[in-house]
Amino acid sequence: MTRLMTICLGVLTASGLLSGQAAQSGNGRVARSTRLTKPRIAPRSESQWTDADRALAKTYTRDGGAGNDFRTFLNNPDAVKAMMPFIAYVSGESALPPRDREILILRTGWLAQSDYVWAHHAAAAKAAGLTDAEVRRVAEGPGAKGWSPFEATLLHSADELYRNGFINTPTWNALAAMYDVPRLIDAVFTVTELVFLADTYNSIGVQPEAGFTKRLPTDVTYQLVVSPRESQPATARIEPVDFATATPEMRAMLDPRGNGRGPTGVFRTVARNMKLYPPRQLVAEYTRRPDKKLTTHVQQLLILRAGWLDRAAYQFSEHTRAGREAGLDIARVLAGPDAPGWDPFDAALVRATDELHRDDFISDATWNTLAARYGAPELMDVLITVGAYCMIGIPTSTFGVVLEPGAEGFPVPSR
């Protein structure tokens, strides 16, 4: 397909979705018909905090003030240490101009229909110089009148990443004309991290705090206008760091154990942004830690299904061997939750991954199946595993990270 694909929900508005209708977008994503009005995992109130919780709040929140996102993550304290530094980086410490950052974040919050993201960043956007009218216009998208050409490009890049898991060449070139490599990396990770967070908040039911009163506009039609996804470029858009000629500082960051071997291409590519690399690496290390709460079988199942849905060839190829060693039938992973032969619980895990990709939300039926076996920490780790690997899988495709020598790639051609 080469024609422009228009995904428009006609006269259906976001408020109309609350009546139980679902609106389909072009990649299978659905503007959600339900929003949780109370959490599935309750945030921990300060009266429940331990000394360790208070220490985490002192370290990872501003002036010790904890929002409902942090209080919810306290149900899994190790996740706080892994996630909060990268949330802080993307939300306020990246190299992006604050106005650009908030445009990307708000657009992603709108696309994923996250009241929590919208409530917090509508306030942050005003501090970054956006007017109330401009905040609302973010929901209208890149085609709305009033955006500068580059701001429209920013919005369009968020739409392409959300819908296609990739930025097509015209949009990429427009971004690269204005941004250096660190800012290009920041822009892509801002969108993918916010999809991760929005899906997590939506599925857990994290509620906006009383002081954050803005909500998703209910009078704006939910729509996306993007071209079909291009094939991943054969050569890298962002060249990875050459470990052999890297500076001592770069070598120490990439090889903290000093074994003299550089990491794989994805790490050497992300390292082109030396400020982003350390907090993002905390998320990566969390999912790989030896004392992880999910079994290797479950973890690889989630990673492979997420990689397939995002068409993230690098991510998928890096996990096929581990998936087989964990007892997975790769063909069944590709076939989806209704394929014959699944254990019912494994089928629910695949379905949860599909629902996150399609709906930005895990349905009640799927959540309840998982919750019958898993407690809050494990449920959160399901969301973190899927989200974290989408958060890195989509950038590897967009940056053109080349497969490692001998990698399988996808077992069948991309859809």
The mean pLDDT value of the chain amounts to: 90
CB 242 within 8 A of CB 267: no
Asked, colleague to colleague, whether 7-39+89-226 and 288-399 share their fold, the answer is yes
Q: Which residues contact 57 (CB under 8 A, 6 or more apart)?
A: 49, 64, 66, 70
| Residues in a beta bridge with 6 | 225
Least confident of 60-64, 141-145, 204-208: 60-64
* The predicted structure's pLDDT at residue 290: 84
Counting Cα atoms < 13 Å in the Cβ hemisphere of 227 gives: 13
What is the percent of the chain where pLDDT is above 70?
Answer: 90
* The predicted structure's pLDDT at residue 412: 60
* The predicted structure's pLDDT at residue 34: 63
Classified by CATH at the fold level, domain 288-399 comes out as: AhpD-like (1.20.1290)
* The predicted structure's pLDDT at residue 292: 87
Residue-wise pLDDT tens digits, 360-402: 999 999 999 999 999 999 999 999 999 999 999 999 999 999 9
CB 223 within 8 A of CB 8: yes
Sequence ranges of the domains in the chain: 7-39+89-226, 288-399
Domain 7-39+89-226 CATH (choose: 2.40.30.10, 3.50.50.60, 3.40.190.10, 1.20.1290.10): 1.20.1290.10
Could you give the CA distance from residue 246 to residue 255 in angstroms, rounded to a whole number? Answer: 11
Please report which confidence band the pLDDT of residue 23 belongs to, taking 50, 70 and 90 as the band edges: very low
State the average pLDDT over residues 160-169: 97
CB 213 within 8 A of CB 132: no
Please report which confidence band the pLDDT of residue 64 belongs to, taking 50, 70 and 90 as the band edges: low
Q: Is the model's pLDDT at 135 over the cut of 80? A: yes
Least confident of 137-141, 181-185, 261-265: 261-265
* The predicted structure's pLDDT at residue 8: 34
CB 300 within 8 A of CB 323: yes
Residue-wise pLDDT tens digits, 68-110: 999 999 999 999 999 999 999 999 999 999 999 999 999 999 9
